[in-house]
Structure 1
């Protein structure tokens, strides 16, 4: 089975500054080197999914500039349908500055630009695309009201919706009611529920809180430890694969994209899909950059099978 996945999300050109350690407040430091690459949570997730065998279409927006063309070309180079990537004549293409230290940890500053200028009315033209999908993914680097409109259409057509609430923000009314699966990391989960993620018991309590909020299916990613899941069929924890990280940029996005390429619409194989997603992200963190670091299914299978 090949999943048809639509990603509604951000398109950013990433500038990564390679440094020894994070600067302290008021401190000026020198970067060892600088790299530019295609990125954005939406783009990362779409590329991760298509490289793992899914058929991908993208809904997003870029500026009328060179970076916009660069991002569209980057998606199309991976065989992603960009028919629903609009061009904004006012706002510039989204961008991000990433500080990457010698331990592989990062801090990211994002300029939303054209991503944040998207409007709910844009989803009218996208309905036929959504209707023919198996899975629709969105994050919080584009406006939530746009995601809400898209998810409502998805539910009308029996499409499974996956929400990645990153960066963490208060969720608008109604969005969780049309979300089938929410995938925060531990920090985002705690921000949304008020319950710190420290162990399995606290993750169970996060799941209970999300259920009270209207969402029964949950995955919490906890970095190098692994991922917790809770669905109608049960809950559990899938440990991460131990590797030495060079750059954690796009690791979480690789996880979600790879997961979406393998999970069944009814989430019945969630543990199997999570294991594959962990394998994919374990390769990503051993490489530099966002899109350039995301592995193919062939590379994942060669490493782990």
Structure 2
């Protein structure tokens, strides 16, 4: 079993030919509502592949909260520890253009009420897990407490530091596997990340703080894996993207599904890339993520 601590959102998605400029009004193509949130997405991605996933987070006492929880349950995520609060469920307003690129505005809602006390109440869930995965759409103090409990119990800690924020060493030292994109890596370390050489220097800084594995996702350029044993660039699969909203979350869900099963980082990255390449060719976040059967059929014809 893995535990995912993170956000649960309703995604309000508007499709447009091009994203509007400041002050510009444009006509949209379509509007849809999807279950989302970085935490929810990552949990669903892993669960749909067959991983046992227990979720820690909060929703509002409203119909969007019921909608998202039902979707997560249908995907196989255990949401029995998710609490409801007398506020709104988190909301993400997403604009997707004709090339599949997006802009996102997030309102935390109940996600902002995930606190240290809630984590302590669910410490046993974390302690029983093989790994805990978290992000930054819930308060940092909650993630730190969850990772502290995990480290005390020998549980693998995996952090997707998004949305990016500056991190102090006491947080970084609780992380075993860090999965940022290059912009998040720059924010975390305060170092430039425009080239592989610069990325390497930022990774060296993280290794000095006891991070064991860094996987930098590079969008259409692939993923860069760094461990103490070596570093390698994994080229991305060449696909025509329809909606990149959950690309990173899909990658992480696929990665953790594979990694907890066989502890092979390279195989886990490869699977994560396949899941992400499948997801970006479909609309929505959680709705775009494949089951293992769908992924196996898709992978038979996939080219890098």
- What TM-score results when the alignment is normalised by the length of structure 1? 0.95
> Who is 2:266 aligned against?
271
Aligned pair 1:120/2:116, yes or no? yes
Provide the residue aligned with 2:284 in structure 1. Answer: 289
CA offset digits 1:199-250 (Å, max 9, x no partner): 3322211211222444242110000111011112321111111001011010
Q: Map 1:75-94; keep pairs closer than 5 Å.
A: 75-89=72-86, 91-94=87-90
Partner of 2:11: 14
Which segment is superposed worse, 107-116 or 223-232?
223-232
Contact 1:151 / 1:178 at 8 angstroms: preserved in 2? Answer: yes
1:110 correspondence with 2:110: no
Q: Give yes or no for contact 1:240–1:278 (8 Å, CA) kept in 2.
A: yes
Among 182, 187, 197, which residue is 1:186 paired with?
182
Following the alignment from structure 1 to structure 2, what is the Cα–Cα distance between the partners of residues 124 and 208?
A: 33
Establish whether residue 29 from structure 1 lines up as the match of residue 32 from structure 2: no
Question: Which shifted more, 208-217 or 125-134?
Answer: 208-217
Give the distance between the partners of 2:188 and 2:294, measured in 1 at CA. 35
Measured in 1, the distance between the counterparts of 2:90 and 2:110 equals 6
List structure 1 segments (4+ residues) > 6 angstroms apart after TM superposition. none
Matches within 5 A, 1:229-248: 229-248=225-244
Q: Which of 137, 159, 162 is the equivalent residue of 1:141?
A: 137
Listed as ranges, the gaps of 5+ residues in structure 1 are: none
Find the partner of 2:66 among 60, 69, 75. 69
TM-superposed CA distance for 1:172, in Å, is: 4.5
State whether residues 51 and 78 of structure 1, in contact with CA within 8 Å, keep that contact through their aligned partners in structure 2: yes
Pairing 1:48–2:49 present: no
In 2: Cα distance, 1:201 partner to 1:123 partner: 38
Alpha carbon RMSD of aligned pairs, Å? 1.4
Pairwise CA distance, 1:263: 0.6
How far the C-alpha of 1:268 sits from its partner, in A, is: 4.5
Query: Is 1:207–1:216's contact at 8 Å kept on the other side of the alignment?
Result: no
Higher deviation after alignment, 252-261 or 78-87: 78-87
CA distance in 1, matches of 2:241, 2:251: 15
Tell me if the contact between 2:132 and 2:157 (Cα under 8 Å) persists in the aligned partners.
yes
In the comparison of the two structures, how many residue pairs are matched?
300
Q: Give the alignment partner of residue 163 of structure 2, picking from 162, 167, 188.
A: 167
Within 2, Cα distance between the matches of 1:205 and 1:188?
14
Unaligned runs of 5+ in 2: none
| Secondary structure at 1:224 match in 2 | helix
How far apart are residue 257 of structure 1 and its match? 0.8
**Can you list the C-alpha shifts for 1:251-277, whole angstroms capped at 9, x where unaligned?**
100000110001148x94111100010
The question of whether the paired residues in 2 share the 8 Å contact of 1:63 and 1:88 is answered with yes
1:301 alignment partner in structure 2: 296
- 8 Å CA contact retained: 1:166, 1:188: yes
What pairs up with 1:248-263 in 2 under 5 angstroms? Answer: 248-263=244-259
Using the size of structure 2 for normalisation, the TM-score is 0.95
- 1:151 corresponds, among 147, 153, 165, to 147
